Structure 1
């Protein structure tokens, strides 16, 4: 099942959920808030739900599914979908399935003050993954939500109003100031643990802005008197003849076993112990290591910074003392909703970032980026998301103005997708999503902004 198909499945369940909550809690407003693991966090705006009440909602939702209800909806000219839920007309940006009977797999989980509705993921569409409460991820979402509420910003139209009022510069500076404050706070925390921490490990899904984050964190570490030294996991790839293959017989460069783990562990232990090592340099053209590497020795005021998809995986460095590592998870946890029922998917924000970046800096056509997306998502589900709670701290790299800034760049690419393209539906959907965002002039976006990693003009080598 494709990522787009999963989202249609989710949207149909949410339509059913809206109807059930309207029936059980008349007068209450359900808010479909944000994604969390393989589910979506929901709450009633003025009530705290009990476990018994959540079980009742789930039971009624199961009855709705088993009754195999017809989902009636109309397609608008702007590719929105109007669904009839009781006496209300609900607008969605995903077309629902035609009937409810195929929605076999879901579960509601009590998660104060609301609940999470858990769905299947792309890798396992016929079952639900085990649910482990994502306490750190949830706290990061909550922190961002409190910040938005303090600014009286809840929905996309709130940001659009600021842009229309020609006050976008304040909006940009405010969002960037939050990033700078958070990065500075993380650097201070690392500095307080400097007597133990010798390795900083940074991971996160694609297009999270990890590279710019690492550069800005390094700047703040230098302000504190530490000297960060970058070490790339890419240089520890095994030669091609030793690289594992996937079920299709293709090289699997994303699996942990594609790295020379014993060499990495030996060299990191030697560096932390004060020894000099020659770290490898990998030649991606020939698929092997260069004859000479990079000589390194870690000084007392130096700290290693390692970025990569496996950086939070405990199996990457199992022999290294955990107290010597500081792990950071970076992701774009966008939280401005279109309305109470229509959230903006954090995954789609990253896809829009990637479309723009891949075309600007890698010459990749948008059709190819879309075609690769399901594979990228499977890799994230296997190698990144299972380990996000291993992080000591999480950094939300989203910027509340970013889709306004990215809109003209992404639209230019998406309109080139023709109906013959297998991912045409997704392209149309993304265009519909972007249409909700007022275009923002990017001339005042700072050159050290994470968004510059995608728009261009970054002060860093990204």
Structure 2
């Protein structure tokens, strides 16, 4: 055997380990060093503040020790995982500061705000005054300057239950009653401890960018968005959204479902059928109210525009709205926006040089506005039809609408004033439809409605399009970019908002989504997201989908909708 072919066995492992970065650089450091130490000592420049890292295909905290050579990709605030780490840590900081200053009341962290923030309320006491809020803000800043460590502790489940029971946090105690694992991961800052659904930063010194702003009876914990990770965006007008969230809160009170723990109680006690039926009835009541508003606005408002982000249930909502309008003697006519695409060669392109079909420039808004104006004047109009095979716009059906009809358009640009610039605003009724709020784990651990929509889409894509969960997760980031650009900026233009969230939906989606998520291959970037969603679904007891009514918005995603074949009246179409 040649010397170079001999196998050398070291009696002791090397004292150093190496990490391999995506750009080919190799960093060496003492075995057991944390990710934070290795990356910061290397003097690397990051496009945004460092929040965590992908270590050998797993998302890890910066405090994670490197014991073996590893492939490491830094994760910053400019990425979804990094943004979540920052926001989760900032919420924990707020909790700790609030508990220190206001012992006799509780803090509820509720829904998100589009400019970057969480709406918060005081429970059990009067709202914070501006002076109180300034004091809380200043105290949080003091904690950040002190750069105090967040300590991660794995404790026996019963120890965690006893801790929260002693603090009187019955929501957490009730939730943990259904936990199947024998331990729980807690974080500690000073004397304050809590669990959080995911990782956090190493210390308070990372949390430099935030603000507290009064809103309604509560306040907004404001933080940067990913595209500008060290800047706080202006707080937009959110009055209509706030009303929608408050309505949902009153619905939860009527249902007696305050958190996931009480939902699990209802499932276990076989009371969930009542929760499902009342939830559906409350949504139907809201749809009927919107139909009444449209009817009362006749004959002035002849165009109903419906917009909302992906997997919001817009299709089912539009059909149920149409049924309510028909019950009031108003015959809806559906005009398909997809037929008003410009010729493919005229479609704008995105930053990567690909056709951007979600851009407003992809629609022939001139022809659309002209046709709508003529239709509401009672004229006969030859519509357009888009040939998706040839990529060309062609002539379509000839139609005329009656005096008792309204035109319904559903599409992502429905609330954008530039879509119909020559149509008077007072002749349109604009509806924003989205899964806008969701039942939370408890008062401090919120569930993102974006996660709810993604789980809806994973289940629907697998059933209707044959997509794997990996494919849907891969496309989701692009979908979200389009929503942030084309939908969310215009939501406050709505005359009405419809919240399509159902209190029981994640329990119903659990048994359908989990097998799909488990098939996402380990080592793929999408596996990290799949594991996060699986960890979320662990908190829910499963709900039998046979309990879901056949006209439910949820049926749009799980299948079995009685509305799937429903078509609006077409008697006013004269085919050419």
Q: Distance in 1 between matches of 2:564 and 2:355?
A: 28
Classify the secondary structure of the residue corresponding to 2:312.
coil
Post-superposition Cα deviations, 1:31-57, rounded to whole Å, max 9, x if no partner, equal 112222221111220221111211222
Aligned length: 461
Q: 148, 173, 195: which is aligned to 1:69? A: 148
Aligned-pair CA distance for 1:78: 8.7
- Paired residue for 2:51? none
Q: Relative to structure 1, is the Cα distance of residues 415 and 15 closer, same or farther in structure 2, using a 3 angstrom cutoff? A: same
Q: 242, 249, 252: which is aligned to 2:356? A: 252
Matches for 1:323-362 after TM superposition, within 5 Å? 323-362=426-465
Is 1:15 matched with 2:92?
A: yes
Per the normalisation by structure 2, the TM-score is 0.77
Aligned-pair CA distance for 1:205: 0.9
User: Larger deviation: 219-228 or 370-379?
Assistant: 370-379
- Paired residue for 1:56? 135
> Residues 203 and 210 of structure 1 are in contact (CA less than 8 Å); yes or no, is this contact kept in structure 2?
yes
User: Larger deviation: 135-144 or 19-28?
Assistant: 19-28
> Residues 255 and 275 of structure 2 are in contact (CA less than 8 Å); yes or no, is this contact kept in structure 1?
no
Q: 293, 312, 315: which is aligned to 1:189? A: 293
Q: Relative to structure 1, is the Cα distance of residues 432 and 309 closer, same or farther in structure 2, using a 3 angstrom cutoff? A: same
Matches for 1:439-450 after TM superposition, within 5 Å? 439-450=542-553
- Paired residue for 2:320? 216
- Paired residue for 1:369? 472
- Paired residue for 1:5? 82
> Residues 149 and 189 of structure 2 are in contact (CA less than 8 Å); yes or no, is this contact kept in structure 1?
no
Q: Distance in 2 between matches of 1:281 and 1:192?
A: 32
Q: 491, 494, 498: which is aligned to 1:388? A: 491
Aligned-pair CA distance for 1:286: 2.3
User: Larger deviation: 333-342 or 131-140?
Assistant: 333-342
> Residues 80 and 432 of structure 1 are in contact (CA less than 8 Å); yes or no, is this contact kept in structure 2?
no
User: Larger deviation: 357-366 or 54-63?
Assistant: 54-63
- Paired residue for 1:307? 410
Aligned-pair CA distance for 1:80: 6.2
Q: Distance in 2 between matches of 1:137 and 1:103?
A: 27
Q: Distance in 2 between matches of 1:5 and 1:271?
A: 49
Is 1:139 matched with 2:217?
A: no
Q: Distance in 2 between matches of 1:357 and 1:270?
A: 38
For the pair shown, the structure with the greater C-alpha radius of gyration is: 2
Is 1:285 matched with 2:389?
A: yes
Post-superposition Cα deviations, 1:293-347, rounded to whole Å, max 9, x if no partner, equal 1211121111100000100011111211111100001111233221121111111
> Residues 197 and 536 of structure 2 are in contact (CA less than 8 Å); yes or no, is this contact kept in structure 1?
yes
Structure 1 gaps, min length 5: none
Q: 99, 120, 124: which is aligned to 1:46? A: 124
Q: Distance in 1 between matches of 2:228 and 2:308?
A: 21
Classify the secondary structure of the residue corresponding to 2:219.
strand
Q: Distance in 2 between matches of 1:79 and 1:243?
A: 54
Aligned-pair CA distance for 1:98: 2.2
Is 1:35 matched with 2:112?
A: yes
Specify which structure has the bigger relative contact order, considering alpha-carbon pairs within 8 angstroms and separated by 6 or more residues. 1
- Paired residue for 2:398? 295
Post-superposition Cα deviations, 1:227-249, rounded to whole Å, max 9, x if no partner, equal 10111111111111111111111
Is 1:83 matched with 2:160?
A: no
Is 1:412 matched with 2:515?
A: yes
Q: Distance in 1 between matches of 2:145 and 2:349?
A: 42
Is 1:266 matched with 2:343?
A: no
- Paired residue for 2:211? 107
Structure 2 gaps, min length 5: 1-77, 156-180, 566-576
Post-superposition Cα deviations, 1:108-152, rounded to whole Å, max 9, x if no partner, equal 110132211122223333323221130000000001101212332
User: Larger deviation: 368-377 or 169-178?
Assistant: 368-377
Where in structure 1 do 4 or more consecutive aligned residues deviate above 4 Å? Answer: 75-80
Q: Distance in 2 between matches of 1:74 and 1:279?
A: 64
Is 1:427 matched with 2:505?
A: no
Classify the secondary structure of the residue corresponding to 2:408.
strand
> Residues 169 and 444 of structure 1 are in contact (CA less than 8 Å); yes or no, is this contact kept in structure 2?
yes
Classify the secondary structure of the residue corresponding to 1:110.
strand
Q: Distance in 2 between matches of 1:178 and 1:237?
A: 37
> Residues 78 and 432 of structure 1 are in contact (CA less than 8 Å); yes or no, is this contact kept in structure 2?
no
Q: Distance in 2 between matches of 1:100 and 1:229?
A: 56
> Residues 155 and 337 of structure 1 are in contact (CA less than 8 Å); yes or no, is this contact kept in structure 2?
yes
Q: Distance in 2 between matches of 1:426 and 1:385?
A: 23
> Residues 251 and 282 of structure 2 are in contact (CA less than 8 Å); yes or no, is this contact kept in structure 1?
no
Aligned-pair CA distance for 1:449: 0.5
Classify the secondary structure of the residue corresponding to 1:423.
helix
Q: Distance in 2 between matches of 1:418 and 1:99?
A: 33
- Paired residue for 2:13? none
Q: 251, 262, 266: which is aligned to 1:158? A: 262
